[in-house]
Amino acid sequence: MRCQPLILFLSAFSYKNVDYCHCPRSLFVLLDIPKQPQSHFRFAHSQCSSQSQSHHFPLHSSLFSLVEPIICQNPAEISSFAAVFNFLTGRNLLRLGRQVHAQMTLRLVEPNAFLGAKMIAMYASSGDLDTAVTIFDRINNPSLLLYNSIIRAYSLYGYPHKTIGIYTQMQSLGLQGDHFTYPFVLKCCASNVWMGKCIHGISLRIGLEIDMYVGTSLIDMYVKCGEISEAHKLFNGMIVRDISSWNALIAGYMKNGEIYVAEDLFKRMVRRNIISWTAMISGYTQNGLAERALDVFDKMMEEDSEVKPNWVTIMSVLPACAHSAALERGRKIHKFANEIGLGSNVSVQTALVAMYAKCGSLVEAHQCFDKIHQQKRNLIAWNTMITAYASHGHGLESVSTFEDMIRVGVQPDTITFTGLLSGCSHSGLVDLGLKYFHCMTKSYFVEPEVQHYACVVDLLGRAGRLVEANNLINQMPMQAGPSVWGALLAACRKHRNLELAEAAAKKLFVLEPDNSGNFVLLSNMYAEVGMWKEVDNLRAMLKNRGMRKTPGCSWIEINGKAHMFLGGDTSHPQAKEIYMFLKELPEKIKGVGYVPDTSLVLHDVSEEEKEHNLSAHSEKLAIAFGLLNTSPGVVLRVTKNLRICVDCHTATKFISKIYGREIIVRDVNRFHHFFDGKCSCGDYW
DNA sequence: CTAGGGTTAG
């Protein structure tokens, strides 16, 4: 094989699309390796340092034999090596890169600033920042290009201090930085407006603010520092505006909760790309408007055929399905993701696991997790699966998944333990949970945080060990947050400890003054023991603060369409049938042992809600609607915005028995699988 | 070179 064309080819291919027709056949081996999306940067980092490295690079020796002739024929050619490193950049081929590097060293090729920059780019993109830094340190006559590549590396790895340090060092050498430097330096000012403003000033002084990339980076910087008006000012003053400048501003307004401004900007855009659409979709999701997110996704698919959804788009729309428990929608998007070749993207797969779990289909969630290639299973993927099991009350599976994760050498983090501990508490695995809690620092190097304490308070509390739970709160090394007191309050409700409940509620009224749920819970406890004066006091407090009890709301998806019910709702077209069904229900299930729990009827907060008697609870309406509109054997999946009430829980158990149905209810904090008269929570929720 | 991003407790 002649080598010069190969070098030319490699360098050309690294920059632009190349006409494939003239390539030697063997080169297709090289061509088949896609450039990795940038996120692999971060993950490659941890993957490469784990022991399973060798599985990543099965192609190395054959690839190396392709690259070798170039090196052999031009042993001292800096440009040959530069072309090869350039090609390897972004392809996650660390070992091959190291082989080339070794050959280079053997042939006594000393890298200059140009070659050094290419090497740094290769190492940084393959997850080996340390080597990139070493190379940088050894180059004697650094150039702007060299500085840019190390700044890029540091900034993408998320080391703001290092980036700024190198940038300062560069300045002290008299190198100003160019339009390639500033986007990366600005990325590091995300939470430091002061620094951002300094860099902004410098870029103005050297006349870079007219650069599109620098301009957009400045907008993004101000957005990330929470100074949206500053960002908008910059946007207005920009001479050359790009789609990305609009996108950055739209995303900023969405993050700031100013949806209308974002919508207006989006409407005013002359041209939109996939990022504009994705910004809208994820913006809606972030602001809790899942339905709108799904609508925008559909609209994009209908109206804008130019635009092609990518993995970020899919990842942004799946949480919207999860949020609204739209299982059918989620399945469709899953199919679509497979069609456009995103089926083996870890991030998409992880989003799928979460979506299926949150839509109540633990089976499909697990199937998706299984399909994630062993080596690609990163921290987030494991966390998602552990949390999925936890929310479905499969504590033992949470634990065994956690142990698998440890076995394959993935280091757990704080979220892993919240998942694991909540799994233990949802399943009543008190001792196991306590064991993990007590050894998490020593064995796994994860320091307990507030949310872990909340899980353990919940764990002890559900089991009735209220005094221990309370003691734990007193021993906490940090301030107990709302989640901790909330867990204690819920436990006190379950085990009827009014004294502790009052203490917990008192804290919560201060910590969460807008959460009516705490008032309602305590009021229900007073009512249970007939302390009506206290009930009245709490009602008055609610009223004074202008709050109302959050109305109960449930929905069920049938044939891909969501049907929503409020407590006592009569507005549904089939309301008559539903109420007829519910009227006859108690008599039917009394036959198999149902005893209505009417205690809660008396405790509704406001008078007008008294009419919403037990049979009209929103979850019952949804279940009745489901039974009336599906064929026998179909699984019913109901989602509720609050916790399921005791009577509905009991009734649903009996319904599952006499109708032979599997009914899956997602309430605010967990899943209940009803089947054959039993619930997966074991009445432990 | 810039813009969009999957996992968190009651």
Q: What is the pLDDT of residues A376-408, one digit of tens each?
A: 999 999 999 999 999 999 999 999 999 999 999
Confidence of residue A43 (pLDDT cuts 50, 70, 90): very low
Residue with the larger pLDDT of the pair A550 and A168: A168
pLDDT at residue A135 tops 70: yes
Specify the fold of A452-545: 1.25.40
User: How far does the CA of A474 sit from the C1' of B2, in Å?
Assistant: 49
Distance A451 CA to B8 C1' (A): 8
Q: Which residues of A402-436 are buried (b: 16+ CB within 10 A; e: fewer)?
A: beebeeeebebeebbbbbbbbbbbbbbbbebbbeb
Nucleotide in closest CA–C1' contact with A39 = B5
pLDDT tens-digit map of A248-286:
999 999 999 999 999 999 999 999 999 999 999 999 999
Question: How far from the centroid of its chain's Cα atoms is residue A217's Cα?
Answer: 24
What pLDDT score was predicted for residue A616? 82
Identify residue A487 by its one-letter amino acid code.
Answer: A
Distance A384 CA to B6 C1' (A): 9
pTM for this one? 0.86
A267 Cβ partners below 8 Å, 6+ apart?
Answer: none
Beta strand ranges found along A511-560 (DSSP E): 553-558
C-beta atoms surrounding A485 within 10 Å: 24
**Whose C1' is closest to the CA of A180: which nucleotide?**
B1
| C1' of B6 to CA of A637 (Å) | 24
The integer distance in angstroms from the CA atom of A378 to the C1' atom of B7 is 10
Q: Which nucleotide is nearest to A419 (CA to C1')?
A: B8
Q: Which residue has the higher pLDDT, A18 or A603?
A: A603
Residue whose CA lies closest to nucleotide B5 C1': A312
Would you say residue A471 has pLDDT above 70? yes
User: What percentage of chain A carries pLDDT values higher than 90?
Assistant: 65
Q: Residue with CA nearest B8 C1'?
A: A415
Does residue A25 surpass a pLDDT of 50? no
Question: Residue A84 — very low, low, confident or very high, per pLDDT cuts 50/70/90?
Answer: confident
| Whole-number Å distance between alpha carbons of A263 and A261 | 5
Q: What is the pLDDT of residues A556-591, one digit of tens each?
A: 999 889 999 998 888 999 999 999 988 888 888 888
DSSP state of A30: H
Q: How far apart are CA A121 and CA A483, in angstroms?
A: 44
| Nearest nucleotide (CA of A421 to C1') | B9
B9: residue with closest CA to C1': A451
- For A476, the token pair is 């906490």
The separation, in Å, between residue A669 CA and nucleotide B4 C1' comes to 29
Q: Which residue is nearest to nucleotide B2 (CA to C1')?
A: A213
**SS3 (DSSP) at A640:** strand
Residue A32 pLDDT greater than 60, yes or no: no
- Confidence bin at A594 (pLDDT 50/70/90): confident
Q: Which nucleotide is nearest to A310 (CA to C1')?
A: B4
Taking residues A155-166, what's their average pLDDT? 90
**Residue A64 pLDDT:** 63
* A461, closest nucleotide (Cα–C1'): B10
The H or E element containing residue A280 is helix A274-286
pLDDT at A66: 62
Mean pLDDT of A205-224: 92
Distance A374 CA to B2 C1' (A): 34
Find the nucleotide nearest A462 (Cα to C1′): B10
The pLDDT score that the predictor gives to residue A58 is 39
Top-ranked range on mean pLDDT: pick from A108-112, A129-133, A609-613, A642-646: A129-133
Q: Which nucleotides of B are covered by protein (CB under 7 A)?
A: 1-10
Nearest nucleotide to A245 (CA to C1') is: B3
Q: How far apart are CA A407 and CA A399, in angstroms?
A: 12
Q: Specify the 3-state DSSP secondary structure of A598.
A: helix
List the A199 CA – B3 C1' distance (angstroms).
20
How many residues would you count in chain A? 685
Instruction: Assess whether pLDDT exceeds 50 at residue A126.
Output: yes
* Mean residue pLDDT across chain A: 86
Domain residue spans of chain A: 452-545, 553-679
A541: tokens are 């407090």
What three-state secondary structure class fits A553? strand
Residue among A650, A28, A34, A29 nearest A342 (CA): A34
Nucleotide nearest to A221 (CA to C1'): B2
Q: Give the CA-to-C1' distance from A607 to B7 in angstroms.
A: 42
Burial per residue of A653-677, b for 16 or more beta-carbon CB atoms within 10 angstroms, e otherwise: bbbbbebebebbbbbeebbbbbbee
% pLDDT > 70, chain A: 86
- Distance in Å from B6's C1' to A148's CA comes to 30
Spanning CA of A279 to C1' of B3, the rounded length in angstroms is: 9
* Sheet with A636-640: strands ordered across: A561-566, A553-558, A636-640, A663-666, A671-675, A678-679
How far: A532 CA to B4 C1' (Å)? 53
Q: Which residue is nearest to nucleotide B3 (CA to C1')?
A: A244
